[in-house]
Amino acid sequence: MTAAYSIADLRAAAQRRLPRAIFDFFDGGAEDEITLAANRAAFQRHRFLPRVLQDVSQIDTHTDIFGRPTAMPMAIAPTGAVGFGYPGGDVAIAKAAVAAGIPYTLSSTATASIERIADAAPGRLWFQAYILKDKAFLARMIERARVAKYEALMITVDLPVGGKRERDQRNHFSVPFRFTPKNVWDFAQKPGWCWHMLSRGMPVMENLIGLDDQAKSASSMASSVGRNYDASFDWAALQKIRDLWPRRLILKGVMHPDDADRACAMGCDALVVSNHGGRQLDGAVATLDALPGVVQAAAQRVPVWVDGGVRRGQDVVKALALGAGGVLLGRATLFGAVSDGERGAQRALEILQTELVRTLQLCGVRSVADITPALLTKVMQA
């Protein structure tokens, strides 16, 4: 991990270690992957206009999230099925987040339970819930998060149906999983990954146990949750969750200013501008491009965060300059974890932290609180 100097290096390490089908599951997007690429391109279109002759010998990266201090303006985004890349990968990322002093979000489709994460990584924990047709099961998951003292509940609203991920189709990667000559040969090329899976056993999406009484394997559980997405979920249903959940409620997947305004009015505590990392609606606008409109609509009523395409510390600075309160990290820490477990996740956060500090110093900015829109030039053409 000391030879990994960037998130791109961690991605390359993950690609070397994992079978193609598993790597592409984490790395890929929907259809032509236009939105996946657009998320990165949006950051690259912005340029800094730095100030000089500033005392930047001491840099403060601290910020407040929900009125509590955090070490950096970052949190871990919910990432599902990490254990298929590295045994205990979910716990590894959670521990790395706690050590770095930032919040961690547990996905409904994680390969570690709500309770196991709370025991292994006591810190600022958020739980992300997919909206299921089985409302009693959904309510039990949310209640488990409350009992385990999770600080916030995150509702993902951009997944009424799953996106069309063609890399998975080409790799014969599906749920429930089926063995074909193509993917068996693919797995055989990565004996280290195979040994980990065989010695530790195939991971289970622990939060979904009991969703379908017939779902006994990890792959059939994943298939069950896919069949159980509730495409009828609407604002009235969200209001019921808001009324029942006693703590902070975060709405993830907001892209349109009108939706942001309505979410603020109904009592959501934070918004995440997200297009699911380009894994859902291909052709959707890049999250960084959607951010200013959502920030304007929120009108300082709630914090607005952004995810999608964050690979550098400078990306964090750009997001804050455009009005974000912070960023959520998905693939960045995921690549680290599936490369080398907790050490890999820690390395990802170390890289981003040092890049963040260096970028602020080179821009002549002493703290994240001092970042303003004046730090960026106008948007350049792609």
Indicate whether 19 belongs to any domain.
Answer: yes
Indicate whether 1 belongs to any domain.
Answer: no
Compute the distance between CA of residue 259 and CA of residue 244 in angstroms, rounded to an integer.
21
CB 278 within 8 A of CB 33: yes
Return the pLDDT at 209.
87
Tokens of 363: 């821009």
Residues of the chain with pLDDT under 50: 214-225
Indicate whether 352 belongs to any domain.
Answer: yes
Indicate whether 359 belongs to any domain.
Answer: yes
Return the pLDDT at 180.
81
Return the pLDDT at 220.
46
pTM for the complete prediction?
A: 0.93
Compute the distance between CA of residue 31 and CA of residue 166 in angstroms, rounded to an integer.
6
Indicate whether 39 belongs to any domain.
Answer: yes
Number of Cβ within 10 Å of residue 200's Cβ equals 12
Q: How many domains does one find in the chain?
A: 1
Residue 327's nearest CA partner among 337, 338, 313, 341 is 313
Residue 46: active-site member: no
Number of Cβ within 10 Å of residue 146's Cβ equals 16
Compute the distance between CA of residue 341 and CA of residue 277 in angstroms, rounded to an integer.
22
User: Domain span at residue 360?
Assistant: 7-375
Indicate whether 380 belongs to any domain.
Answer: no
Return the pLDDT at 221.
43
Indicate whether 381 belongs to any domain.
Answer: no
Indicate whether 366 belongs to any domain.
Answer: yes
CATH code of 289's domain = 3.20.20.70
Q: Which of 46, 62, 256, 276 is catalytic?
A: 276
